[in-house]
Amino acid sequence: MFARRRLRLISHATLLTSFALLGCSSPTEETPLLGSTGQALKQSQEDDKGAKGKHDDTRGHQHHGRGHGHGHGQGHDCDDPTAPPPDPVVFTPASAAARSGRLAGVAVASGPLASEPIYGATIAAQFSDIVPENDTKWGPLQPVDAEHWNFAPADAIVDFAEANEMRVKGHTLIWHSQAPAFVNADASPRQLRRYAKRHIHETVRHFRHDMFAWDVVNEAIADDGSGLRATVFADAFGEQYIDRAFHRANQADRNAELYYNDYGTENINPKSDAVYALMTRLLDRGVPVDGVGFQGHFDARFAPTFDQMVENFERFGDLGLSVNVSELDVRIARVAGSTAHKLAVQKRIYQRVSAACLATAACEGITTWGFTDKYSWIDSTFGADDPLLFDDNYQKKPAYYGFVDGFLGVPLDDPSLQPNLIGNSSLETGLDGWSVQGAGALATSVDRAHTGLRGAIHSGRTATWNGPRHDVTRLAQRGRAYDMSVFASLSGAPLVNTAFTAQITCTGQASTFQRIGAADLTDTAFGQLAGVMTLPDCELQSVAVYVEGPAPGVSILVDDLAMRERPLPNLVTNGTFETGTAGWFGWGPSVLGTTTDAHSGDLAATASGRTASWNGIATNLTTRVAPTATYRASAWLKVRNAATSPIVLTAAVRCAGQATQFVRVAAGTGNSSTWTELSGSVAAPNCTMEEFTLYAEGPAAGVDILLDDVSFNQTTAGLGANVLANGTFETGTGNWFGFGSVTVSAATDKARSGVRSGKVSGRTATWNGLATDIRTRVTPGRSYRANAFTQVSVPSAAGVRLTLQSACNGAPATFTNIATVTANNATWTELNGTIAIPNCNLTTAVFYIENAPTGVDIYLDDVSLREVP
Ligand code: XIL
């Protein structure tokens, strides 16, 4: 009835050829050994295992009945076909994981696999095994009714895997989500049981020779760990459905490893405790479960630590189960800071996960849930993000290098430091981002490294200033300082004072050279070169760092380059109150004092005798803030005389000649027993500021405020991408419309960039203008920096402004002034402001330019709206 797939064994001849090619010796720079030969070996190990039967545990790890081996050993033995392959010159996730007999797998989507050659090519080059992202789920397999199976999309993935000598894991047999329509609460328990039985039998039999493992039951435990998740299966059968699914899968394929899979279980918590208890019961009842998958869908802000993961994974290993991380991705959209910073935080987490797998004897491997940010389920489920190892253009991200490093035992980045912005810092995967300053050639160093197994060596130097160089232009921000460090060594001279230098080029100017640090280096060990790199406040054309100094002919080895953002100074000079409340004053009636009930140190500030909710404790920052700059504020608060109370951080901002504006920086609920952190960002207006005061307020009259650890720093970068689709009008007025009955056009008589600008004419009311709908482009509750340029058709028009029309839940719209300027008809005037999008069910959000006198045409160009971190 169903097309049978033929098992494609790798012939003994192929195997022997692989060994001959590998040569059973250390690699040299001339003979790079990459992916596919190693893949052949892994496949052969599996076939070997299949032949020997499931109970042969080559890993030496105590299994509870059903053992599976991948030979977690090091070193290669030519006589032993189960030994891992020799090390290649440069590593991939697959070859790095294979060093310890582990797997680096990836979830595969059939759409891009069929349509984009680079998608499949990258998978084949980088990963050891694959998991169909959707095509082996029950619903996709039985989309029509209980009698028919649609195996074609999954078969195509299996064919791809076999063609590339990769292994395949099936995912997932029994899951409450993505199940067929006929699997619902109306089905009788008898029917449900029959559906599940046939589905498991037909599906597992169909792929009997293809899948080395199956996720049998997915997400069966409730999120709070209180018991089984309420599903049609649990409602009908209780826990029995889990036992039955494993037994049936085992009957259909005696060789596949059978996994239980779940999320939010990566550290020890009530949910992972519940999974642990379930596994214990299954094993006690003799249910053929082999392992546990930990999905690993992380938000970078809350990812577990290395120790938490290892401790948790090990307790499952101690039950005799294999463990794997089955669906790894790391969200970074909500991490504050620059893009480079977010990507560096992400790298740390990927490395932490692969290091945790390496540290856990029972860990079989890690599967990432996709590999290119172009195709990730995260964007449609959690919002736009970049959670994977490769970017939208299939370029390696910092996370990629961290992921490889973790499998190779490269030490984790020190969590007490700012994260290292350099992606390819340890040089295990090749020379990406590295080049030479001056003459000579750079190669991977295979026999000397500071950490891991690889470094870089620069030979053929012809001048003292030649040396290995790394470009950091895309990581560097104008006006900021960085802690820099690199480890280096020499070949060809015993001892030389060696320098670490930055070459900095501001656009339109000559390069300058900055000495970061220097040290005496030897040819026997790696030594550290470290110091601060301070960048000028100019438009940076390029920034690179390099090592130099030794005489021509001496080779320089480098490894472990680090570049860390130095924190911006706290503009609040006395934010800890350790010596009193100097620099702070009462905002309205409010008596300041100190208390030993401190968040840190010995003292915190108190504001008592308050007679209104807006009274509080304030500090004046007027002379420290700059127009248009963005700031991040953070403070710890507690209340007294009330169990809980609203708490707010507010900025009172007054531009010359205007009324004071009160900007809500952050708000929350204060508590009398614990400290609460309030943090948020605020942009200074583009005006001459007569006042900028930051203060804590909010509780009802009579409630005291306790305040400690206040910081206020400028965030020079980190604005998100422009969320507007057509801010230049170069291709017309797409996405824009007239506000009121007016004429809009992409005019060619004025343009700030390109050849066109947006123009609105025929205005018969001051509120008429040029508008764009941003409702689906912005996230409620977030702030956006608006920037645009305007001209008008008359010599001077006061009050031209950008406005946000917004409404929540269909309520009447409110209008917020974003920025106001006096515009003219000769030069472009800049509009700059911040919009706080209301945190509600946003039913209207229109962004427009308006308010010139009637009859005056308004031009608009280079409009951007970027999220404030
Ligand atoms: C996701 C897929 O990635 C999406 O394409 C699909 O629309 C929904 O399912 N936990 C799991 C995976 O076990 O099967 C889910 O995959 C992600 C969460």
- The pLDDT confidence band at residue 405, using thresholds 50, 70 and 90, is very high
260 C-alpha vs ligand 1 centroid, how far in Å? 15
Q: What is the largest CA-CA distance in the chain?
A: 89
Summarize pLDDT for 373-403 with one digit per residue, the tens: 999 999 999 989 999 999 999 999 999 999 9
Summarize pLDDT for 568-601 with one digit per residue, the tens: 879 999 999 999 999 999 999 999 999 999 999 9
51-65, 117-131, 204-218: lowest mean pLDDT where? 51-65
481-495, 643-657, 830-844: lowest mean pLDDT where? 830-844
pLDDT at 85: 74
The answer, yes or no, to whether residue 75 has pLDDT greater than 50, is no
281 C-alpha vs ligand 1 centroid, how far in Å? 27
Torsion angles phi and psi, residue 243, rounded to 5: -55, -50
Look at the pTM and tell me if it is higher than 0.85: no
Summarize pLDDT for 592-621 with one digit per residue, the tens: 999 999 999 999 999 999 999 999 999 999
- Whether residue 273 contacts residue 225, with contact meaning beta carbons closer than 8 Å, is answered with yes
- Whether residue 770 contacts residue 760, with contact meaning beta carbons closer than 8 Å, is answered with yes
pLDDT at 714: 82
DSSP β-bridge partners for residue 475 = none
pLDDT at 538: 78
Greater confidence, 124 or 780? 124
pLDDT at 244: 98
The answer, yes or no, to whether residue 35 has pLDDT greater than 50, is no
Summarize pLDDT for 523-558 with one digit per residue, the tens: 999 999 999 999 887 788 999 999 999 999 999 999
> What's the token pair of residue 306?
């290395």
pLDDT at 9: 33
The answer, yes or no, to whether residue 675 has pLDDT greater than 90, is yes
User: What is the spatial distance between Cα 365 and Cα 101, in angstroms, rounded to a whole number?
Assistant: 9
For 770, the 3-state DSSP assignment is strand
826 C-alpha vs ligand 1 centroid, how far in Å? 55
Quick one: what percent of the chain has pLDDT higher than 70?
Answer: 90
The answer, yes or no, to whether residue 22 has pLDDT greater than 50, is no
The answer, yes or no, to whether residue 144 has pLDDT greater than 70, is yes
- Whether residue 322 contacts residue 288, with contact meaning beta carbons closer than 8 Å, is answered with no
25-34, 226-235, 295-304: lowest mean pLDDT where? 25-34
Q: State the residue for tokens 């507690």.
A: 638
Per the prediction, the chain carries an average pLDDT of: 89
Element holding 309 (H helix, E strand):
helix 306-317
pLDDT at 869: 62
The C-alpha angle 433, 436, 440, rounded to 5 degrees, equals 140
- The pLDDT confidence band at residue 44, using thresholds 50, 70 and 90, is very low
The answer, yes or no, to whether residue 801 has pLDDT greater than 60, is yes
15-29, 121-135, 283-297, 682-696: lowest mean pLDDT where? 15-29
- The pLDDT confidence band at residue 34, using thresholds 50, 70 and 90, is very low
Q: Which residues, 6 or more positions from 159, have their beta carbon under 8 angstroms from its beta carbon?
A: none
The answer, yes or no, to whether residue 203 has pLDDT greater than 90, is yes
Atom of ligand 1 nearest to the CA of 370: 3
The answer, yes or no, to whether residue 6 has pLDDT greater than 60, is no
369 C-alpha vs ligand 1 centroid, how far in Å? 8
Q: Map 324-380 to HEC letters.
A: EEEEEEEECCCCCCCHHHHHHHHHHHHHHHHHHHHHCCCEEEEEECCCECCCCHHHH
User: What is the spatial distance between Cα 689 and Cα 512, in angstroms, rounded to a whole number?
Assistant: 35
User: What is the spatial distance between Cα 311 and Cα 295, in angstroms, rounded to a whole number?
Assistant: 16
* Helical packing angle, 306-317 and 339-359, nearest 10°: 30
Strands 689-697 and 616-620: antiparallel
Tell me the mean pLDDT in the region 314-329: 98
Our mutation pick for probing the ligand 1 site, out of 326, 327, 367, 379, counting the most ligand atoms within 8 A of Cβ, is: 327
The answer, yes or no, to whether residue 752 has pLDDT greater than 80, is yes
The answer, yes or no, to whether residue 55 has pLDDT greater than 80, is no
Cβ of residue 133 lying under 6 Å from some atom of ligand 1: yes
Nearest CA to ligand 1 atom 3: 377
User: What is the spatial distance between Cα 486 and Cα 412, in angstroms, rounded to a whole number?
Assistant: 16
Tell me the mean pLDDT in the region 796-816: 94
- The pLDDT confidence band at residue 80, using thresholds 50, 70 and 90, is low
The answer, yes or no, to whether residue 2 has pLDDT greater than 50, is no
Nearest CA to ligand 1 atom 13: 218
Nearest CA to ligand 1 atom 5: 377
DSSP β-bridge partners for residue 668 = 647
The answer, yes or no, to whether residue 718 has pLDDT greater than 80, is no
pLDDT at 7: 35
> What's the token pair of residue 602?
């010995």
> What's the token pair of residue 22?
């590998």
For 606, the 3-state DSSP assignment is strand
- The pLDDT confidence band at residue 54, using thresholds 50, 70 and 90, is very low
Look at residues 850, 761, 766 and name the one whose alpha carbon lies nearest to residue 803. 850
